[in-house]
Structure 1
């Protein structure tokens, strides 16, 4: 094919031209390779391997349960507190790992990015995929705990759980694209993300009930708190696993509205993160 014919060929594209997240779907094979690499290297050289995916959330739950549940007395104020607590921990762990992975996805693959062109969005998307894969053992452990306490599965719980996971992935990917793009030139972005992760567990009703926020904060601050996508996601995890066990437990007024607002904010975060990422990705190789 001649050069002029190639330019008019509908299949011809300028090398290096990015379509952002939409372009990822055209490179499914490369995405699968990156997912396999991320999963294989996670526990490379470890004796326990995948067992750590169960040990870590279990140890985290035990620490919070002893301190928050027994010492501070939250165990007496919330029915089936172990299920309530572990539901929130699992949700926040997914967010933390997805955001941490996506923020460093570009810098961690600097050697590859500087040598050959690949759609840059492949790296943060695969990082989120790896976080989701490592989330599954924790979700399985949560399911076992809930079943042990008398939980029964239903379609509404399954849908609520899936939507909660989708909100977390959307929100974390949006933040990861934003901070990951900035992190290439300014490594302070990673430190800022560390601050977000440090507050993530406390900024959502994981270790306490939403009623405590309602009773001790002004109305406008409570509305902001409940509209937080992570608060929405944690409450959806509670609705899926804890609420069916805790009969008569109060639910926030306007929860559906807060859920819609939180989901919209998660999508807006993804949109902004994608815009920033596409604007800066052309300089990744030079800055790395």
Structure 2
């Protein structure tokens, strides 16, 4: 009798992210469903993965690179060399983060009808949102790599590894925050607005459109180190180190100790956020069906 009692678990609770790994087929189906629903009736379909960031890049490049003088030129020798590559390498990564977190935070409420009808690992929905965002990310990455080759790209293995680490940092962070806010959003729908504000801040609180050396010169070394602890900042600098720096003469500013300290710190912080998101999700998921 005691063994049967010990085997009982609280209704509505699953095995966490481990269930997502064991339900890979369901994850694949959810990703396919999300892509089909998103582009149903669309003329361009997946081509929007190129069009939207392309328009965003052109607007920011003209506004910041040309009008505000961030692009290095004979008239502006203090600007950033190959600013177009610098800008786009940050845009593709921040777009991945904003899309992944924005959709993951709404994924549980958005799939409320399915959650109320059958049981399946609820973590599948935020994780599937991150995977869909990754599908949109890789076409943009192909365009970025092609532009880098045109600009004389010559990376080494370490620099390529830094890009992989940057992507992992963002994917882990988006998954963790997606689990956290996806669960909270079931109980407090205001969290959607909070996530929207967080994503707006994330875009400007990372060196996507400006150089991190500008932050250092304005805030000083102490606050600059605080600024650098942001995992998104670390990931963006890793992408700059991989895609932008090899297109320059190598003298451009990249944060010191990026490989030895900041990237490992970014991975640790992202894993910590993932664990926090999973623990919060597990604590709240028992009443998802009732609340939805």
Q: TM-score, normalised by structure 1?
A: 0.93
Q: Which residue of 1 aligns with 2:229?
A: 227
Deviation per CA, 1:217-252: give whole Å up to 9, x if none: 033321111110000000011111001111211222
Q: Which residue of 17, 31, 45 corresponds with 1:21?
A: 17
Q: Which residue of 30, 41, 59 corresponds with 2:37?
A: 41
CA distance in 2: counterparts of 1:232 and 1:49, whole angstroms = 32
CA distance in 2: counterparts of 1:219 and 1:249, whole angstroms = 18
Q: Which residue of 2 aligns with 1:131?
A: 133
CA distance in 2: counterparts of 1:13 and 1:143, whole angstroms = 49
Shift of 1:203: 0.5
Contact 2:241–2:254 (Cα < 8 Å) also in 1: no
Q: Which residue of 1 aligns with 2:254?
A: 251
Q: Which residue of 2 aligns with 1:53?
A: 49
Deviation per CA, 1:37-63: give whole Å up to 9, x if none: 112222211111111110111100000
Question: Gaps (5+ residues) in structure 2?
Answer: 73-78
CA distance in 2: counterparts of 1:13 and 1:273, whole angstroms = 21
Deviation per CA, 1:180-223: give whole Å up to 9, x if none: 10000100111000001111211100111010000000333211
Is 1:63 aligned to residue 65 of structure 2?
no
Is 1:276 aligned to residue 272 of structure 2?
no
Q: TM-score, normalised by structure 2?
A: 0.92
Contact 1:158–1:240 (Cα < 8 Å) also in 2: yes
Deviation per CA, 1:256-283: give whole Å up to 9, x if none: 3222222211111111111100000001
Equivalent residues, number: 283
Q: Which residue of 2 aligns with 1:152?
A: 154
CA distance in 2: counterparts of 1:121 and 1:160, whole angstroms = 28
SS at the partner of 2:117?
coil
User: 1:228–1:130: structure 2 CA closer, same or farther, 3 Å change rule?
Assistant: same
CA distance in 2: counterparts of 1:119 and 1:33, whole angstroms = 13
Shift of 1:13: 8.2
Question: Gaps (5+ residues) in structure 1?
Answer: none
Deviation per CA, 1:66-98: give whole Å up to 9, x if none: 000000000021011000000000110000011
Q: Which residue of 1 aligns with 2:76?
A: none
Contact 1:227–1:259 (Cα < 8 Å) also in 2: no
CA distance in 2: counterparts of 1:258 and 1:168, whole angstroms = 14
Q: Which residue of 2 aligns with 1:95?
A: 97
CA distance in 1: counterparts of 2:276 and 2:189, whole angstroms = 20
Shift of 1:14: 8.1
Deviation per CA, 1:84-139: give whole Å up to 9, x if none: 00000011000001101110110110000001111111111111111111111111
Shift of 1:16: 4.3
SS at the partner of 1:270?
helix
Q: Which residue of 2 aligns with 1:240?
A: 242
SS at the partner of 1:187?
coil
CA distance in 2: counterparts of 1:182 and 1:151, whole angstroms = 44
Q: RMSD over aligned Cα, in angstroms?
A: 1.9
